[in-house]
Structure 1
Amino acid sequence: MSTEITNHPENNRYVLLDDGAEAGFIDYRLHGDEIVFTHTEVDPARRRKGIGGELVKGALDDVRVSTGLKVVPQCPFMARWIDEHPEYHELVERG
């Protein structure tokens, strides 16, 4: 399995490709110095395989490296994932 996570700012969306096929996405909106993650969705056939967590991690890693934005996790899946991974708490606390 080969995965790739890319930001598509024209669509306000991070996309996860699994062997070249879209397997999931995270929608977001920008609000001042915040990136508000609103919705995470994974292909039902690929759930329970860790792809959702991989997608969240990839999006947050990109935010960490590429921006100074504060993360606002409105999506319950992302909020729960961040709660379980304290190494990402500083992104929520930025600013």
Structure 2
Amino acid sequence: MDDRVTENTAARRFEMAIGDTIAAAYYRLEDGKVVLIHTDVPQQLSGQGIGSKLAEGVFRQIRESGRQAVVRCSFMTGWVSRHPEVNDLVVG
């Protein structure tokens, strides 16, 4: 599994390829902030930690780009609550 997360700005999502499938965290931009609105992990990959690896990569990308995040996705809200190391990135 390639756990590198990339940002696909055209599709407005962060992506992680797993074989022939893609796990993705969708966003919109508001006032320069990344508003995380939906996380999608293919059903057949559920329960394997894919969502957590995706979230780690998403917040790494946000940190490296100097942006901040607004979390509107229930999966990401739960993940952030367990990872206080990203609290400095979360606003709103």
- 1:7 and 1:22 map into 2 onto residues whose CA distance is 16
Contact (CA 8 Å) 1:26, 1:39: kept in 2 or not? Answer: yes
TM (norm. structure 1) is: 0.89
Deviation sequence 1:20-44 (CA, Å, 0-9, x none) = x233101100001311000001010
Contact (CA 8 Å) 1:4, 1:18: kept in 2 or not? Answer: no
Cα RMSD after superposing both structures: 1.5
From the superposition, tell whether residues 93 and 38 of structure 1 become closer, same or farther in structure 2 (CA, over 3 Å): closer
Report the counterpart of residue 4 of structure 1 in structure 2. 4
- 5+ residue gaps, structure 2: none
Deviation sequence 1:50-92 (CA, Å, 0-9, x none) = 000100110110000113x221110000011001000011101
SS in 1 for 2:53: helix
- 1:17 and 1:35 map into 2 onto residues whose CA distance is 21
Q: CA deviation at 1:93?
A: 4.2
- 2:11 and 2:59 map into 1 onto residues whose CA distance is 17
Moved over 2 A (4+): 1-4
Report the counterpart of residue 21 of structure 2 in structure 1. 22
- 5+ residue gaps, structure 1: none
Report the counterpart of residue 36 of structure 2 in structure 1. 37
**Structure number with higher strand proportion:** 1
**Structure number with higher helix proportion:** 1
Aligned length: 92
Identity of paired residues, percent?
Answer: 29
